[in-house]
Chain A
Amino acid sequence: MSDIQTLPLAKAINAGLRQAMLDDPKVLLMGEDIGPLGGVFRVTEGLQAEFGAKRVIDTPLAEAGIIGSAIGLAMRGYRPVCEIQFDGFIFPGFNQITTQLAKLTNRHEGQIQMPVVIRVPYGGHIGAVEHHQESPEALFAHTAGLRLVSPSTPNDAYWMIQEAIASNDPVMFFEPKGRYWPKGPVDFSASSAPLHSTRVVREGTEVTLLGHGAMLSVLLEAADIAADEGTSIEVIDLRSISPIDYGPILASVQKTGRLVVAQEAPGFVSVGSEIAATVTERAFYSLEAPVLRVTGFDTPFPPAKLETIYLPDADRVLEAVDRALAY
């Protein structure tokens, strides 16, 4: 029996959090302004009213304090879900995430687990001020002990947040805030894929486009335009940044021979760079062209009036498609 509703991605996360809290009394939400306000993006709206202030905890304004105390709560047997208000504000908590949360299971040689989820609204497209539009996922993907995922659709958001909470390892849950409000179908009856799996979302034969989060809508737009011009594009939603599920990526590249990886983050030492290197190592003889990257520039995220220039759009993706096809 399918039970499908149409929801914005933000509301789908809200529904997923609510379900996780109903399923497991050890699940706690903690963060800044997540109680009566429901978070600055209203993702936790209504949850404190339903579950009480002991399970939806408005914390002091201190990211290290949020992550560090979540670690202690996890040691006590809780499953804390921390909200970081904006991508660029995660850095006061960086030490707790990288030197502590990521390493505690290892330091205990497996005798404790760290089921902590860190929700991070990330990325551009909202015209916001400095520190509010960034994509810092590579900094965390480089850290052993963390898992990183990013949904691109409301359906994935609903299921992936629950799967992240069920994980016994720390999971960083990157929410594409530029896609919080467009609606999409959510099938409440069953998850469609494991948490750490990539997914082919559009089949094609000539070029593979790969991205995560808000990039997916850009890639699908580019594929539509290319189709009108007679080029067949395959589009893959990465979904999981650590670990990366290379199977569908390699299968696609073996079919198309061309891969363009797109991301909002700067390209230098990035997720796209890692994928380009790995695909080159593993599918070298299938490649008709070098793996190309379309990324944010290696600069600070610019003032908002320049964000449409900074962020990869369908035209920049298609420029890379043309270059790949020209080899």
Chain B
Amino acid sequence: MSYTEATIQLLNPEGSLVTSDASAEYLPYIDALSDEQLREFHRQMVVVRRFDEEAANLQKQGQMGLWVPSIGQEGAQVGSGFAARAQDHIFPAYREHAVARIRGVDVLDIVKLLRGTTHGGWNPAEHGNFHLYTLVIAAHTLHATGYAMGIALDGKSGTGNLDADEAVIVYFGDGATSQGDASESLVFAASFQTPQVFLLQNNHWAISVPVSTQSRTPLYLRPSGFGIPGVQIDGNDVLASYAVTRKNLDDARAGAGPRYIEALTYRIGAHTSSDDPTKYRKDSELDYWRQRDPIPRFEAFLRSRGEGDAFFEEVRVEAEDHAADIRRRTFEIQDPGTSLIFDHVYSEPHPLVVEQKAWLAAYESALDENGAQA
């Protein structure tokens, strides 16, 4: 499943702006961006890709139990990530490393999650309202819808003030569209007309199962059956991702109801470090999508606007420095204390947990220095 006639593209794979009836509505959003904002799109895509490569290496070296690569999806993530306004709430799946970084999460916290020192990693309230990753597929789509119901109940959407009205964006993948929770979240969003954008990153593979097994019709058509407008974009076009998400989020925050965006992209890497995509997909498909990589396309665009080598070199060095910093700090991560097992199971003391924490402390204190029963 690839681009269709309905796919909105603002930047073609050669890096030139597309002028068409479909793009005309969105190009003003690009015109409004400053040169510095455009440079920032590139910077984030490059730094996060380099981080992703470093994290994969760290996993191979035993520093993490698992790594979840996002390579190839930087355009979909960086564009939509910058489209959200400061007051918005982001509900990610578990591969949105670029969005996390844009919203202020130290991506070392993602390393900690996959290393096994935490089940969470960051406090959303202190990190750009970027909520925790959710590993049970699509479960978080309902949390996003409930949160958006709360925004509407609070009267914090639909006032006409784009800088104050709040909205929610929820990320999920093509596999998640088959989960009941994803459909129920569309039902609730439509019924309560939530200020919310559903952002589907269709990366074409749910581990080893192709999107054609999840859906025989383009997925952007599915929400129309729920009464929610859907649109399909070239997710490897960071400008389309930005402009279409910006417009749809602003429509949702203005009270127009939920919106759905299918961003066509591709998982260049494996599902996770435990996966082996050579067992189920063809090199020709990978080649097709490598030619549509979001980063070279956007670099060509910036160069066509006069951006010179100095900037790209500066970003390359920043990405190297960031990766080296992550590597250094990964080796410094401390294991959590055993109290983490017990401390936050309940927010108010639960006798069973209190008792078992005390038991473990007594048991451990009775062991000798070799860990044997004293």
Contacts and interface: CB of A to CB of B under 8 A. Distances in A.
Interface stretch (B6-14, B49-57, B117-125): B117-125
Contacts of B185: 65, 68-69
Nearest to B346: A169
Nearest to A60: B187
A59 B189 CA distance: 11
Interface size class of B (residues with CB under 8 A): 35 or more
Given A95-B136, A107-B120, A108-B123, A73 B147 contact: yes
16 contacts: A64-B180, A65-B181, A68-B139, A68-B141, A69-B188, A71-B142, A75-B147, A78-B153, A96-B139, A100-B143, A105-B347, A109-B118, A109-B120, A112-B125, A167-B348, A243-B350
B146 A70 contact: yes
A273 interface: no
B372 interface: no
A110 B151 CA distance: 23
A95 B132 CA distance: 18
A147 interface: yes
Given A68-B184, A76-B151, A95-B136, 20 more contacts: A60-B188, A65-B145, A65-B181, A68-B146, A69-B142, A72-B144, A72-B147, A74-B146, A75-B146, A76-B150, A78-B150, A92-B180, A95-B181, A105-B344, A105-B347, A109-B340, A110-B344, A114-B347, A243-B351, A243-B352
A62 B134 CA distance: 21
B348 A168 contact: yes
A110 B132 CA distance: 13
Interface string B296-309: 00000000000000
A65 B352 CA distance: 31
Interface in A77-110: 77-78, 92, 95-96, 99-100, 103, 105-110
A27 to B, nearest CB: 12
B139 A95 contact: yes
A308 B304 CA distance: 82
B239 interface: no
Interface string B176-193: 000011001101100100
A75 B131 CA distance: 10
Residue among A78, A103, A108, A111 having the largest count of chain B Cβ atoms under 10 Å? A108
B139 A99 contact: yes
B148 interface: yes
A107 B187 contact: no
B140 to A, nearest CB: 8
B187 A144 contact: no
Interface residues of A, number: 44
A226 B131 CA distance: 58
A65 B123 contact: no
B256 interface: no
Contact of B346 (A76, A92, A147, A245): A147
A112 B144 CA distance: 15
A91 B119 CA distance: 25
Nearest to B143: A72
Contact of A76 (B134, B142, B154): B154
Contacts of B191: 59-60
Contact of B344 (A67, A108, A242): A108
B348 A65 contact: no
A55 B337 CA distance: 42
B117 to A, nearest CB: 11
B345 A109 contact: no
A271 B143 CA distance: 31
Q: Which of B142, B144, B348 has the most chain A CB within a 10 Å cutoff? A: B142
A65 B120 contact: no
A288 B306 CA distance: 91
B149 interface: yes
B346 A105 contact: yes
B343 interface: yes
B132 A107 contact: yes
A106 B345 contact: yes
A106 B153 CA distance: 27
B348 to A, nearest CB: 6
B3 to A, nearest CB: 33
A44 interface: no
A92 B181 CA distance: 10
A208 B330 CA distance: 57
A100 B147 contact: no
Closest 9 CB pairs of A and B: A72-B146, A68-B142, A76-B150, A69-B146, A65-B184, A72-B147, A110-B344, A72-B143, A111-B123
A95 B136 CA distance: 9
Nearest to B148: A72
B347 to A, nearest CB: 5
B353 interface: yes
A145 interface: yes
A78 B119 CA distance: 24
A162 interface: no
Nearest to B187: A60
Contacts of B125: 111-112
A70 B344 CA distance: 20
A56 to B, nearest CB: 12
Contacts of A111: 120, 123, 125
B150 to A, nearest CB: 3
Greatest chain A CB density within 10 A among B145, B146, B148, B151 is at: B146
A56 B147 CA distance: 17
B192 to A, nearest CB: 8
A168 B348 CA distance: 7
A68 B344 contact: no
A302 to B, nearest CB: 30
A64 B343 CA distance: 28
Contacts of A305: none
Contacts of A152: none
A289 to B, nearest CB: 26
A182 to B, nearest CB: 32
Given A60-B187, A106-B345, A107-B119, A71 B143 contact: yes
